[in-house]
Structure 1
């Protein structure tokens, strides 16, 4: 298999007490407003939302076993910028597991540019 830019092709979890499935985390703030700042600002909000959601389940980024990252873009530089931002954030350990990064045509909210689906094992 080819070398990866930090993630693993396979993540095996041998023992766990619980699986934690986060709904796709969107770039909405606590008031339900879309984060400002374009793709970078929205990615920052998604990171914050994931950290809060993981914390509510007593999980940490190190407990994440799978991520799927959706970015509204066909531009590889924009996809790469999101990947870099994620891996330079406090959430970075989550992206060393089985991770998929996808460029998509559209997401659920008007103006939404990024969404991340997360699974953790405790």
Structure 2
């Protein structure tokens, strides 16, 4: 699938910490994952109060969802990361953790990291929104 993806950083835009400003997809099929939350298979919150433990669970859930449609991290064309924090250190720690885990290739694409006031589940600190290009 990666031969159908082109990632670009125009010279006139600022340099990035690993992601690309633009991802072009030549494929016709995409998978749009629901926001992946730090919940286990029983629906219980994992890692209350621990943003990195929650990040780990979000990654595990995202890998499971991608595998269910035959996609890999390299097939991801867009990510949006939501973190309940306005502290740049916390946001950075989540970004670094994401890039140290098996989902890391997904974050070389068009990615956005946002600090937000609240997410959907009580105690939830992280959520990941992913779009992947699928093979025909």
The structure number with the bigger radius of gyration is 2
Looking at structure 2, the residues matched to 21 and 50 of structure 1 have their Cα atoms a distance apart, in angstroms, of 11
Report the alpha carbon displacement of residue 18 of structure 1 after superposing the two structures with TM: 1.4
Matches within 5 A, 1:12-91: 12-14=24-26, 16-36=27-47, 38-91=50-103
What is the count of residue pairs matched by the alignment? 121
Pairwise CA RMSD of aligned residues? 0.8
Give TM-score scaled by structure 2 length: 0.87
Deviations 1:62-93 (A, max 9, x none): 00000000000000000000000000000000
Indicate whether 1:110 and 2:122 are aligned: yes
Deviations 1:5-31 (A, max 9, x none): 0000111112x1410000000000111
- The 4+ residue runs of structure 1 with deviation greater than 2 A are none
Unpaired runs of at least 5, structure 2: 1-12
Deviations 1:40-71 (A, max 9, x none): 11000000000000000000000000000000
